[in-house]
Amino acid sequence: MPVGALTPLLLTLKVALCATLLATLFGVLFARMLGRKRSVTRDVAESVLTLPLVLPPTVLGYYLLVVLGRNGAIGSWLLDHFGITLIFTWQGAVIAAAIAAFPLILRSARAAFTDVDRSLEQAARTLGLREPAVFFRVTLPLAWRGVLAGALLAFARAMGEFGATLMIAGSLPGRTQTLALAIYDAVMAGDDARAATLVWISLLLAIVVLLIAARLLQRHTP
């Protein structure tokens, strides 16, 4: 591995992994809250929650700056109480990537939960289970493939996050410069060799993710 390529690669994996975990947690939670019934309120809620997927990443970055910046509602509170600032940190990049990837999990998880046979959940209720237990013992185990498919898409999206990450975390080599940002940086600096190397690494990484996805999602009867 050429010098200088390992750092952005590891940083990309770290950011994408943390972002996927965060997005999966909240995606599953909101998918569960939206439930299987359709109504105007739920459809509007789902549309609003899907916005990060369709908004330009720079719009997302702008709002993240507004909320998480030093003068932002959450940013100033974090600074005052914990001395934490998220701007120009890898944690900030995680939040940007997590929000960009969140709708992918939400949509696939909700579809997967809706696909679970209703009578199975009803059977669990007649057997004395509360709703959270029904969810963890019946719905989730039967829907995990869909959730996992969403998580892998989210991971791919998080790895490629550029716009919002640039705005909130900048492109600091070794600190917040992920592969996508490093490629842009190399091209702008006229370093074609470095750009080509990083592009190849990105490509390989994407193929590995797709192979893992295909392997995990293979249908196998229990």
Partner 1 sequence: MMQLRVAVTKYLQADRREFRLDVSFESDADITILFGPSGAGKTLTLQAIAGLLRPDQGAIRFGGRLLFDSAQRVDVPTRQRDIGFVFQDYALFPHLTVGQNVAFARSRGWRQARSTDTANRRLLESFDLAACADAFPAQLSGGQRQRVALARALAATPQLLLLDEPFAALDAPLRARLRGELLALQRSRSVPMVVITHDPDDVSALGGRVVLLQDGQVRAPP
Q: How many residues bind partner 1 (CB under 8 A)?
A: 21
Long-range contacts of 129-137 (CB under 8 A, 24+ apart): 135/32
Which one among 44, 66, 127, 217 touches partner 1, defined by CB under 8 A?
Answer: 127
DSSP character for 161?
-
Closest CB to partner 1 among residues 132, 190: 132
Check binding of 122 to partner 1 (CB under 8 A): yes
Task: Give the integer Cα–Cα distance in Å for 100 and 102.
Answer: 6
Identify which range of 26-34, 84-92, 106-114, 131-139 contacts partner 1 by CB under 8 A: 131-139
Neighbours of 77 (CB within 10 A): 11
Which one among 137, 191, 199, 205 touches partner 1, defined by CB under 8 A?
Answer: 137
Task: Give the integer Cα–Cα distance in Å for 187 and 190.
Answer: 5
Which one among 129, 187, 199, 205 touches partner 1, defined by CB under 8 A?
Answer: 129
Task: Give the integer Cα–Cα distance in Å for 111 and 35.
Answer: 10
Give which of 68, 73, 99 is closest to 163, Cα–Cα: 99
> Rounded to the nearest 5 degrees, what angle is found at the Cα of 168, between the Cα atoms of 164 and 169?
105
CB of 143 to partner 1, least distance (A): 10
Identify which range of 1-9, 31-39, 123-131, 166-174 contacts partner 1 by CB under 8 A: 123-131
Task: Give the integer Cα–Cα distance in Å for 75 and 211.
Answer: 39
Closest CB to partner 1 among residues 65, 143: 143
Check binding of 25 to partner 1 (CB under 8 A): no
CB of 123 to partner 1, least distance (A): 4
Residue 184: both structure tokens together: 């842009």
Which one among 41, 71, 119, 218 touches partner 1, defined by CB under 8 A?
Answer: 119
Task: Give the integer Cα–Cα distance in Å for 126 and 88.
Answer: 52
CB of 139 to partner 1, least distance (A): 11
Residues that bind partner 1 (CB under 8 A): 117, 119-120, 122-130, 132-133, 136-138, 141-142, 221-222
